[in-house]
Structure 1
């Protein structure tokens, strides 16, 4: 948990669970795994299990203690919809998000199948944003799962972007984050992939946040494209303009 965050698209992180298991290509160089091991070696109580999935009951109500409104990334060090997280624990995390309604909550998962299964058992007020990670075209089925979730703000994290994603269907999606992988073992991102995805988002009127080029020294690579930064955020539901249908009724 942290009352502030260096992640460009959020203000704070909240980790009622930590640790995870790898599920797809984007997990190969997971930043949370070495960080968890490091915190374990440093003697952190919350990371005594290292990167093993661990529930932290005592921080479920943490956002209630934050009085200043902020955007909160939920489980930056895990995945709330991991198969081994009990449903009632997930429901209690959601209950906190409902109660502490002065914040906005950004949830990301790669386990879109479980998200889809549980969506009907969870509340979806405006402050809860739900997203899925799609690191390449091999995982676009996660977007279909997300579309079925009745969240008022649905978003994609295309990070780490590991390949092109042509023909991206953004119907029912309100925000897209793009980012390259960082770290000593980072896999390269191609400029053409980023340009194409931004063009697709523009054509479908979906705001884009380009987070980083990544690489071994991400601070040197920066996050600008042709001298421009992309800092888009989703509009509030009440301010969104519906796109015209391609096939209006006769």
Structure 2
């Protein structure tokens, strides 16, 4: 199971990644991979480039993990690759196709895939769908992108060019206002401040502005947490600022896309 508020299960058919933008600076997965390598975990023995990655965090595919969801009988929301980016350039298209094959075989689950590389989505998925002889997006697969500063708001535009049952943006860690973010083709918006060592601060006005933008576009907003800096400054009951009871009332918003609200 998962402690991430907006999902229920994590599934990591690939592990490892490379930092490409400021939101990656304090990557929790990179830190965890180093710890797991030291513990001898078989999935985290490949080192990445020390300039952009680290010990145990080199891109690795795990064929033996592909069948895990087949054993889960109860329907659940599944975050795909909490410890990697499925659309990293070094993940073979053939392996991504195998991931899609598993998701196609398990329609009882809803899969949430998050990438910082949405420009790859259309061309990669064209090949995946052609191989699997699929004519339309899988209804149980949500595709999302991470956006931490306005310099990367264009990722949402790239995502909007991809066919998907649900498109979502994760603005976490939110490191500044996002005035350029276009939400008209985005179904779901996750908002969150940074947590952990070295966390950077969040201004609540950034959240308020994005909630207003989501209302105008009909995008479902989900405020995940207000971050460690806010939690410390306000003596919050949770070190990540993740307890809505501690927040201003107008920020206590946790919605899902309309077509799955009943299942949430």
Query: What TM-score do you get using the length of structure 2 for normalisation?
Result: 0.85
CA distance in 1, matches of 2:180, 2:41: 45
Return 120-129 or 177-186, whichever deviates more.
Answer: 120-129
What does the per-residue CA deviation read over 1:185-227, in whole Å, with 9 as the maximum and x for residues that have no partner? 0111111101100111112221111011111668243343413
CA distance in 2, matches of 1:223, 1:156: 21
Q: 1:78 aligns with which of 71, 80, 84?
A: 84
Partner secondary structure for residue 256 of structure 2: coil
| Aligned counterpart, 2:200 | 187
| Aligned counterpart, 1:153 | 166
| Aligned counterpart, 1:230 | 253
CA distance in 1, matches of 2:117, 2:146: 9
- 2:30 is the alignment partner of 1:33: yes
CA distance in 2, matches of 1:112, 1:168: 15
Q: 1:89 aligns with which of 95, 107, 115?
A: 95
Return 213-222 or 89-98, whichever deviates more.
Answer: 213-222
| Aligned counterpart, 1:245 | none
Q: How does 1:176-215 map to 2 (within 5 A)?
A: 176-215=189-228
Partner secondary structure for residue 227 of structure 2: coil
| Aligned counterpart, 2:49 | none
Report the number of matched residues: 236
Superposed CA RMSD: 1.8
Contact 2:174/2:192, CA 8 A, preserved across alignment: yes
Structure 1 segments of 4 or more deviating over 6 A? none
Gaps of 5+ in 2: 47-55, 130-136, 233-237
Q: 2:109 aligns with which of 103, 108, 114?
A: 103
CA drift at 1:119: 2.7
Contact 1:9/1:211, CA 8 A, preserved across alignment: yes
Q: 1:120 aligns with which of 103, 123, 126?
A: 126
Contact 2:157/2:182, CA 8 A, preserved across alignment: no
CA drift at 1:168: 2.8
CA distance in 1, matches of 2:118, 2:225: 24
What does the per-residue CA deviation read over 1:169-195, in whole Å, with 9 as the maximum and x for residues that have no partner? 211110000011111101111111011
CA distance in 2, matches of 1:25, 1:48: 26
CA drift at 1:142: 0.9
